[in-house]
Structure 1
């Protein structure tokens, strides 16, 4: 297969990720306006369990296909059958956990929701293997087209069912249709079919690399989902719905941006893992480019949170706005963490992300659970932001031995954008004050327009040469 350039790969990868994130977000917004926060909260609790099982399948063992210098049919077949076996077992485990979790969260409807969600997992396993193979070859166009088709059908199904009174089951249908179609479409378009060339040698190699990635994924699950779990454990289903909506909007931007970059960066870094100079130059360029985009995106999301919620959702969802303003800022730290994790994995050290993820997980648990019990939703959001912000220097500390000078690289990468984003934030807040009392939609458009004008101008004035050089470097990168 012919590899695409980094910029082209990033574009198609962005389309792939954004299609998934936007479709999921739109489903929850459109359907959420119909079925209400409590029903969305129940679905969120069910998704917690499904997402936990999915961590065994996504970006773990399949990443071994990306990281290896060479692969053959034996490695592909072995990976496929390992993942399909895990996906089938995970499906049975998810279905079996329905009644216990329904009792834990005091949500009886989970008893029939979770067995239905369990059907998704074998199809997720099939998709994961092909995803790793196509990602290795930077074939993000193929992945993006598949995702677009499956998400459109899933979205349409959910909207139709919600309007016919199916409640949370309409969201279940969205996931079923999307996951099944993704698997059905990716196999024929890849042109590769699984065989029976399974070997212990290939399995040992895949498991040796993938076990660290799976371990890191499991820890990452706790880090990313502990807030929803805490809300479900101590607060009402409606509270889970409010927090879930805020996090879902924020996560759509985090996954749609940082996730895309990390996904493209991993194979690019892997190709340079033995050339330290080229590796560090590539890391520096990625970090600089990411900072220039990530800072205005997440700060902008925070300063327009009230207008976003007021424009997209009905009045029942108003409590989500202040939560969104807080959790959106955590995306800044995630943007550098995603890149550094991709970089250290590309160096063949997936054990290091496991180590720092353990520390981050412990901190999130220590802060989120008491915050939910004692302070409620806003306290959970602040605990999220504090721990996530502190995770950035922690990750740097863990990877500095394997990536020389990483602390200086990270510190200097964001400097050109910091001043510009402060100017942008002030400008958008002033626009909000000047137009106070206007409808949410007008305020949102005005604030976005102000940010889009002020930020590039301020960035150009503060660091025009650096901006142009970084952009040109990423365009040329292969």
Structure 2
């Protein structure tokens, strides 16, 4: 997460609003293709990885599917780059997309390795591969921009980061890309189709506000401002991208062992976690002006209002991600489609009505409203299937803490040199507030105490 924010700061300062807007538009289009392709088999791969007997053949099938689809999509994007540039009234976009097309097959294969690692419970290895990508992306993009390579340099840096993640991932898992697989692909598709449609809808929805803003009301500079806010609001989604696959893997294994009480406990705590995140979102929303100024500079301060709104929508998307992971784990993949199916038509109508009058603020408001609708539907489906909801007490505590944090953060104006101290101080008070308000039961307090003692013991050992 820190490297992503620092990279965004470097990009905005080196490219300016217009250049950053063009880079973001190209990145959004490519990222939508990449994430849609990888989402086709993501949850299916994680679930099947716990059950298959012929593991090498399964790995080969997953790797070949991702690489093949990535190559086809890369060729298609390169062919359509010029028409897309004309459609967005940005002729220079064509060259950026043609270069970016090289990243698609590399990214897809690297992500396939990531899915296989999660499916086998190798979470540490998956984290190392993912961290290598973000670190390499920051270093390569910064180096190339400082040497005057502009937008093309940022794209080459992204491609290089995908190659590094691919290489690091292959240190932990080596699917035979060119071997013959005996795994029945039809079995994979039978389960994957509803999950693919679910993921495709979410990916279309994810950046639809930015694209509609460009088509209806936006210049490249406006897109740069809006995308700057989007990039900061993406932080909760990074948590969901990391947590939901782990939840799916652990919950699937628990259900396979028929440990029903433990499974329900996991489901309830996962939903509880989405509520506990609310105060942190409130803190960031109250500090929006300071965050935007620190990361992007004064030129991007109009993004602060958008950031405060988009953070709420991002939290709703976290709820959707966690709730649908639960539905997938319990063997109800078709219900994930029901949870998100209204998002596209409702948001399209909303953007069409609101953006011409309210501009970027209207786009953000529609995004928040539709994401909240999807979260409500997802939680309702989980309750219908599992009879679990986020605890009411946790929700009331979270609302109270959020109100206090937002008020303090928005009124406490600290210089840039003190902002990080202020943010960490208020953020550190959040778990303390939950503890003082009685959020944790006796067993959780005992676990927390044991973890603290264990951590202190390790620190003492290292210091001695």
TM-score after normalising by structure 1 = 0.86
Paired with 1:361 and 1:176, the residues of 2 have a C-alpha distance of 30
Paired with 1:325 and 1:132, the residues of 2 have a C-alpha distance of 32
Q: Does 1:456 align with 2:431?
A: yes
C-alpha deviation, 1:443, in angstroms: 5.0
Paired with 1:425 and 1:288, the residues of 2 have a C-alpha distance of 21
- Match of 2:24? 44
Q: 1:429 aligns with which of 410, 419, 431?
A: 410
C-alpha deviation, 1:164, in angstroms: 2.8
C-alpha deviation, 1:303, in angstroms: 0.4
- Match of 1:15? none
* 1:248-267 map, 5 Å: 248-251=231-234, 253-267=235-249
C-alpha deviation, 1:288, in angstroms: 2.2
Distance change in 2, residues 1:77/1:410 (3 Å): farther
Q: 2:313 aligns with which of 330, 337, 344?
A: 330
Instruction: Count residues with an aligned counterpart.
Output: 445
Paired with 2:426 and 2:33, the residues of 1 have a C-alpha distance of 43
Paired with 2:297 and 2:41, the residues of 1 have a C-alpha distance of 42
Paired with 2:379 and 2:358, the residues of 1 have a C-alpha distance of 31
Distance change in 2, residues 1:51/1:174 (3 Å): same
Bigger Cα displacement from structure 2, 143-152 vs 375-384? 143-152
- Match of 1:130? 113
CA deviation vs aligned residue, 1:156-206 (integer Å, no higher than 9, x gap): 22112222332221221221111122122212332543453324x620011
Unaligned 5+ residue runs, structure 1? Answer: 1-17, 433-437
C-alpha deviation, 1:88, in angstroms: 0.6
Distance change in 2, residues 1:413/1:269 (3 Å): farther
C-alpha deviation, 1:58, in angstroms: 1.8
* 1:37-116 map, 5 Å: 37-68=17-48, 69-71=50-52, 72=54, 73-116=56-99
Paired with 2:422 and 2:66, the residues of 1 have a C-alpha distance of 48
- Match of 1:377? 360
Paired with 1:339 and 1:59, the residues of 2 have a C-alpha distance of 15
Distance change in 2, residues 1:444/1:126 (3 Å): closer
Q: Does 1:414 align with 2:395?
A: yes
Asked whether the 8 Å contact 1:298–1:331 carries over to 2, the reply is: no
Paired with 1:225 and 1:91, the residues of 2 have a C-alpha distance of 20
Paired with 1:159 and 1:285, the residues of 2 have a C-alpha distance of 40
Asked whether the 8 Å contact 2:198–2:337 carries over to 1, the reply is: yes
Asked whether the 8 Å contact 1:308–1:440 carries over to 2, the reply is: no
Paired with 1:42 and 1:471, the residues of 2 have a C-alpha distance of 52
Paired with 2:224 and 2:67, the residues of 1 have a C-alpha distance of 32
- Match of 1:3? none
Paired with 1:248 and 1:161, the residues of 2 have a C-alpha distance of 21
Asked whether the 8 Å contact 1:305–1:324 carries over to 2, the reply is: yes
Distance change in 2, residues 1:369/1:411 (3 Å): farther
Q: Does 1:315 align with 2:298?
A: yes
Distance change in 2, residues 1:182/1:471 (3 Å): farther
Paired with 1:464 and 1:278, the residues of 2 have a C-alpha distance of 20
- Match of 2:325? 342
Q: Does 1:442 align with 2:418?
A: yes
* 1:273-288 map, 5 Å: 273-274=255-256, 275=258, 276-288=260-272
Distance change in 2, residues 1:344/1:165 (3 Å): same
C-alpha deviation, 1:75, in angstroms: 2.1
CA deviation vs aligned residue, 1:313-360 (integer Å, no higher than 9, x gap): 222111111111111122332232221111011112222112221112
CA deviation vs aligned residue, 1:68-89 (integer Å, no higher than 9, x gap): 2422222222222222111110
Distance change in 2, residues 1:74/1:468 (3 Å): same
C-alpha deviation, 1:393, in angstroms: 1.5
Partner SS, residue 188 of structure 1: coil
Q: 1:209 aligns with which of 185, 191, 196?
A: 191
Distance change in 2, residues 1:176/1:451 (3 Å): closer
CA deviation vs aligned residue, 1:262-293 (integer Å, no higher than 9, x gap): 1211101111235343221111122224432x
* 1:181-192 map, 5 Å: 181-192=164-175
Backbone CA RMSD of aligned residues: 2.5
Paired with 1:297 and 1:320, the residues of 2 have a C-alpha distance of 19
Paired with 1:226 and 1:470, the residues of 2 have a C-alpha distance of 43
TM-score after normalising by structure 2 = 0.89
Q: 2:252 aligns with which of 255, 264, 270?
A: 270
Distance change in 2, residues 1:23/1:368 (3 Å): farther
Paired with 1:173 and 1:383, the residues of 2 have a C-alpha distance of 34
Partner SS, residue 376 of structure 1: helix
